[in-house]
Structure 1
């Protein structure tokens, strides 16, 4: 299997997604892909930030190599999560890819204003959704050189 950044370890991916169907499809796509990875899932913005800051039940969580972030989340939305990530010196270089059902131009603009690394719209068709995830995986975990982790 290809190895991210030639580190010899699986890529750690944090998926922040509250829709169980989208979580299932994302898992399926990553499992079918050629790149070794570990997919971690949180279901709202508060949990995502706890994971990233290693708080509470996530105190032993690994630092993810990349975050897939939905915008429409309970408790704290994706924009708020992205804003907090970019405001934290220990997380500000962490690649964050917005993966959402929104096609609204204002959501695209705001995500990039908040320094998202990319904005992907989830296709409605399950096969197309899996294709998008596989393309993400190939590009971001095989071709792109990710920044080194910055510890807090």
Structure 2
């Protein structure tokens, strides 16, 4: 769904570390990726947001994101479980998910693709690496790729 104020679709960031979230936001701004961003601090919050349940049940500002950046290693409902739930629900099945995590473990990479991740990116070390990743995300996902249309 398009954010009517500025005409850009929302990106959902699911990240439990506030420093990583803030760095990602700053890198988006610096790379001129101006889409509105929704932040969910854990997997359960993300599921509530995506299904408009719990604290989001009567929240008219909730919009279906065009893209999700998902951390894997979060307490409680981790990124793998979020991905599995999303890809088994018709309402969220077609939302592209970029796994953005510190893990480069082959098992994690393979499992995430098996569960339906669109892309798996190891979190870059340092802000310059994150800025480069944000620019590449912007160029690919908002410049080259065709995203599913929301109704």
Q: Do they fold alike, i.e. is TM over 0.5?
A: yes
Residue by residue, what CA displacement relative to the aligned partner does 1:33-58 show, whole Å, maximum 9, x if unpaired? 33430011111100000010011322
Tell me what 1:18 maps to: 16
| Matched-pair contact (CA < 8 Å) for 1:71–1:98 | yes
Secondary structure of residue in 2 paired with 1:37: coil
Query: Following superposition, which runs of at least 4 residues in structure 1 exceed 4 angstroms of deviation?
Result: none
1:32 paired with 2:30, answer yes
| Matched-pair contact (CA < 8 Å) for 1:96–1:117 | yes
Map of 1:29-68 to 2, 5 A cutoff?
29-59=27-57, 60=59, 61-68=62-69
Call closer, same or farther: CA 1:126–1:36 in 2, change over 3 Å.
closer
Tell me what 1:108 maps to: 109
| Matched-pair contact (CA < 8 Å) for 1:13–1:68 | yes
- TM normalised by structure 1 equals 0.89
- Runs of 5+ consecutive residues of structure 2 not aligned to the other structure: none
CA RMSD of aligned residues (A): 1.6
Residue by residue, what CA displacement relative to the aligned partner does 1:46-82 show, whole Å, maximum 9, x if unpaired? 0000010011322331110010000001210101000
- Runs of 5+ consecutive residues of structure 1 not aligned to the other structure: none
Distance 1:106 1:36 in 2: 34
Tell me what 2:121 maps to: 120
Instruction: Count matched residues.
Output: 144
The CA deviation at 1:142 is: 2.0
Distance 1:76 1:43 in 2: 11
Residue by residue, what CA displacement relative to the aligned partner does 1:101-134 show, whole Å, maximum 9, x if unpaired? 0010100000000010000000112211121122
| Matched-pair contact (CA < 8 Å) for 1:70–1:98 | yes
1:9 paired with 2:7, answer yes
Distance 2:150 2:82 in 1: 18
